[in-house]
Amino acid sequence: MMGGTSGLEQLDEMYESIILDHYRNPRHTDPLDHADVDVEAQNPFCGDEIHIQLTLDDDGKVQEISVSGRGCAISQSSASLLSEMLEGKDVEQAMEQITLMRRMLRNDNMTEEELDQLGDLVALEGVKRFPVRIKCALLSWTALEDALQERKGK
Amino acid sequence: MTIDVAKIRADFPILERRIGDAPLVYLDNAATSQKPKQVIDALTDYYTRYNANVHRGVHTMSVEATEAFEAARAKVAKFIGARQPESVIWTRNISEAINLVAYSWGDANVHAGDEIVITAMEHHSGIVPWQQLALRSGATLRIIPRTGNGRLDMDAARKIINSKTKIVTAVQMSSVLGSVNDVKTLGKLAHENGALILVDGAQSAPHMPVDVEDLDCDFFGLSAHKMLGPTGIGVLWGRPELLKAMPPWMFGGDMILEVSYEKASWNELPYKFEAGTPNIADAIATGVAVDYLSALGMENVRAHEIEITGYALKRLTELERVEVLGPTDNADRGGIISFNHADVHPHDLGTALDRMGIAIRTGHHCAMPLVRSYDVVAAARASFYIYNTTAEVDALVEGIKQVERYFQK
Ligand SMILES: Cc1ncc(COP(=O)(O)O)c(C=O)c1O
């Protein structure tokens, strides 16, 4: 977002308090010994790193979650929010959330219902006004999507 | 005499720009410099008055274009202390210059068992072409490490450069740490072992006097866009006898002498390495950029940057939560300062400073191995040029303090 007023107030649109909270206290960071889904991702642009591990039960429902990494407030809080989103979801539902998340950041028209479905993740919506940072927000989501898709293909 | 910054600033239309409501504070000069109106006008002038292809026509405009194009080459030669203009080859940028050497000279001269030596401070374009040559040829890539205070480990260099070494590549000024390296000594070590040295001048040529004869190097590369010139043009200088012996790397028009369907013979230097219609406008404008710098005097440019860098180092190291990655003493150091904040990731810092009109670079700076060696994945970088002021350094420091408070809240 170029133009308009400058100054740090504008940053509030991106760094909502939920985001800063997840950045400072990321959830689900303990690594798993065994994982059914294990994926690492890097953003070559800024060097952000993410490591996601999941175990799934026989019905494809997420059991254990581990998400860790290092990088900026956006990539790390987004990954932490992703880990919370995965609680109690099956693969199908997780994929649905990933699609919604991507659409929100692309500024697609979202229905009220869809935004509700995203819950806390709506805190990341402001990132869409900072185009170079969308990649940061999507890093963990894209990595997980790829891993889940690959799993499905097997 | 130092330079008149206010007068210089008036030559750069872009410095009038505002980012939102804030005046632009441009501190990303290591990525690319801004352009004075003289350079911008040279481009317009070429396209409005004498746009024509070079070396091919007898008509007036083609002659004018060719003269301006070759005059620019001679200016660059003089600027870097090269005796023969034909030893200056136009490329797209320094990345292409290094690739030219790695492919043309490298493929012909580097074999299995040989060693290629680079430094821990190379930009990706000083790493990957050699790494790939090593993979093609079966040679080994060896790296001169850095010391804890961000200098090249010259003792290690004396061991690493040996009789198996074929070529050494070194940045004269690190694009991350700002360190100015003793490439002359590295060149001596290379030559004592029968090897060549390529000096990456991407960050040195814009900021300090350079003399390839005095450095006694074999190849020297630069990118015009980092020294007031346009994008899309760079230079490879090589010792003429080396260039003459090297096979061409790209083929096409202009680089040939005679062509049949069976074979072709090569044009003389520098055209052997300039296949196809060159970047005429940008070459001419590069000549004007070099004129601009020469009129200021590179000694004066360097003096200005030593002053501003000393001030910036002092102010940045006063900030408790900020850690500078490279040398914090101002000796043998250019105007590039990478740093990290203990509580704010560089990417967040960069976005926040941008809101105040301050442009810095964040990330790995195209030198992933070097940045990682500091056990971080990214860093913030401020880099200065002739138009920067100590007031802009103050704006940066005040900006960092504000961002600090913002992320603490
Ligand atoms: C030391 C160094 N070498 C090489 C390059 C590559 O320059 P270019 O992208 O113009 O080829 C850079 C640019 O950042 C640099 O700083």
Residue B261: per-residue pLDDT: 93
Amino acid identity at B215: L
CATH fold group of domain A71-154: Sufe protein. Chain: A (3.90.1010)
- The domain tally of chain B equals 2
Catalytic residue of the set B168, B366, B395, B403: B366
Nearest residue of chain B to residue A45 (CA atoms): B363
Indicate if B171 and B232 belong to the same structural domain: yes
Q: For residue B134, what are the contacts with CB-CB under 8 A and spacing of at least 6? A: B110, B116, B140, B141
Q: Is the residue at B35 inside a domain?
A: no
Indicate if B286 and B313 belong to the same structural domain: no
Question: Any idea where the domains of chain A sit in the sequence?
Answer: 71-154
B333 secondary structure, DSSP code:
B
Q: Which domain holds residue B172?
A: 40-295
Indicate if B125 and B94 belong to the same structural domain: yes
Per-residue pLDDT for chain B (409 aa), expressed as one digit of tens each? 589 999 999 999 999 999 999 999 999 999 999 999 999 999 999 999 999 999 878 899 999 999 999 999 999 999 999 999 999 999 999 999 999 999 999 999 999 999 999 999 999 999 999 999 999 999 999 999 999 999 999 999 999 999 999 999 999 999 999 999 999 999 999 999 999 999 999 999 999 999 999 999 999 999 999 999 999 999 999 999 999 999 999 999 889 999 999 999 999 999 999 999 999 999 999 999 999 999 999 999 999 999 999 999 999 999 999 999 999 999 999 999 999 999 999 999 999 999 999 999 998 888 989 998 998 888 999 999 999 999 999 999 999 999 999 988 7
Note the pLDDT tens digit of each residue in A119-145: 999 999 999 989 889 999 999 999 999
Indicate if B274 and B207 belong to the same structural domain: yes
Q: Do B364 and A46 touch (CB under 8 A)?
A: yes
Indicate if B388 and B331 belong to the same structural domain: yes
Shortest CA gap B169–chain A (Å): 24
Indicate if B169 and B311 belong to the same structural domain: no
Domain boundary, last residue among B275, B295, B315: B295
Decide if B375 touches A, using CB distance below 8 A: no
Q: Which atom of ligand 1 approaches the CA of B231 most closely?
A: 10
Indicate if B127 and B249 belong to the same structural domain: yes
Q: Is the residue at B393 inside a domain?
A: yes
Residue nearest to atom 12 of ligand 1 (CA): B202
Q: What is the pTM of this model?
A: 0.93
Residue B1: per-residue pLDDT: 58
Residue B402: per-residue pLDDT: 95
Q: Is the residue at B212 inside a domain?
A: yes
Note the pLDDT tens digit of each residue in A67-94: 999 999 999 999 999 999 999 999 999 9
Shortest CA gap A11–chain B (Å): 7
Indicate if B98 and B240 belong to the same structural domain: yes
DSSP symbols for B273-295 = G--SS--HHHHHHHHHHHHHHHH
Q: Is the residue at B91 inside a domain?
A: yes
Domain boundary, last residue among B295, B324, B341: B295
Q: Specify the CATH number for the domain of residue B52.
A: 3.40.640.10
Residue A145: per-residue pLDDT: 95
A43 confidence band (pLDDT: 50, 70, 90): confident
Residue A47: per-residue pLDDT: 75
Q: For residue B176, what are the contacts with CB-CB under 8 A and spacing of at least 6? A: B121, B325, B326, B336, B338, B365, B367, B370, B371, B379, B381
* ipTM of this complex prediction, to 2 decimal places: 0.84
Q: How far apart are the first and last CA of chain A?
A: 42
A1 confidence band (pLDDT: 50, 70, 90): very low
Is B366 tagged catalytic? yes
Q: Do A72 and B347 touch (CB under 8 A)?
A: yes
Q: Is the residue at B216 inside a domain?
A: yes
Mean pLDDT, chain A, whole residue set: 90
Q: Specify the CATH number for the domain of residue B10.
A: 3.90.1150.10
Indicate if B145 and B254 belong to the same structural domain: yes
- CA separation for the pair B323, B339 (Å, rounded): 5
Domain boundary, last residue among B242, B275, B295: B295
Indicate if B195 and B109 belong to the same structural domain: yes
Structural element, H or E, at residue A8 = none
Q: Which of B28, B94, B365 to mutate to test the pocket of ligand 1 (most atoms within 8 A of CB)?
A: B94
In the sheet where B234-238 sits, what is the strand order? B88-91, B234-238, B219-223, B196-200, B165-171, B115-119, B140-144
B16, burial (CB in 10 Å: exposed 0-12, middle 13-18, buried 19+)? exposed
Interface of A with B (CB under 8 A): 2-8, 10-11, 14-15, 20, 44-49, 70-75, 130, 132-133, 136
Indicate if B290 and B301 belong to the same structural domain: no
- CA separation for the pair A143, B10 (Å, rounded): 48
Indicate if B261 and B345 belong to the same structural domain: no
